[in-house]
Amino acid sequence: MDYINAFWVGGLICALVQILLEKTTLLPGRVMVILVCLGAVLGAVGLYEPLINYAGAGASVPLLGFGNTLWKGVKEAVDQNGVLGLFMGGLKASAVGISAALIFSYLASWIFEPKMKDQ
C-alpha cells in the first residue's frame, strides 16, 4: 500500500503543477521557486511531515519535499547554533541531494553531447 500512496500523492503533486504551468503565464523557474517555498511553509506550520509519513517518497521527492528538507535543516541548526544556523542549516540538510545532482549532471554531460540552445 505504501507504493500506491507514494504513486498517487506524487502524481497528484505533479498533475497540479502541470495544470499550474498550463493555465498561468508563470515560467517554470518561478513555479519551482514557488514549490520550494511552499514546501518550507507547509513544513513550518507542521502540515508537510504527516504527508511524508503517509506518502513517503511520493511527497519527499518533489520540490515541495526539498523545501521541507531545507526548513527542517534550518530549524535544527537554529536550535543548535542560534542565528548562524540560518545560513548553514539548509545547506547542511540538503548537501547530499545537491551533491548528487551536481555529480550526476556532470556524468551525464560526459555521456551525452551538451549543446547550447539556439535562440
Distances (CA, A) of 88 to 73, 74, 80, 100, 107: 8, 7, 11, 19, 27
Question: Cell for 83?
Answer: 542565528
**63 contacts 39 by C-beta, under 8 angstroms:** yes
| pLDDT exceeds cutoff 70 at 119 | no
pLDDT, tens digit, 9 for 90 and up, residues 9-59: 999 999 999 999 999 999 999 999 999 999 999 999 999 999 999 999 999
| CA nearest to 65, candidates 85, 45, 43, 81 | 43
| CA nearest to 10, candidates 51, 42, 43 | 51
pLDDT, tens digit, 9 for 90 and up, residues 48-95: 999 999 999 999 888 899 999 999 999 999 999 999 888 888 888 888
Phi and psi (nearest 5°) for 114?
A: -70, 140
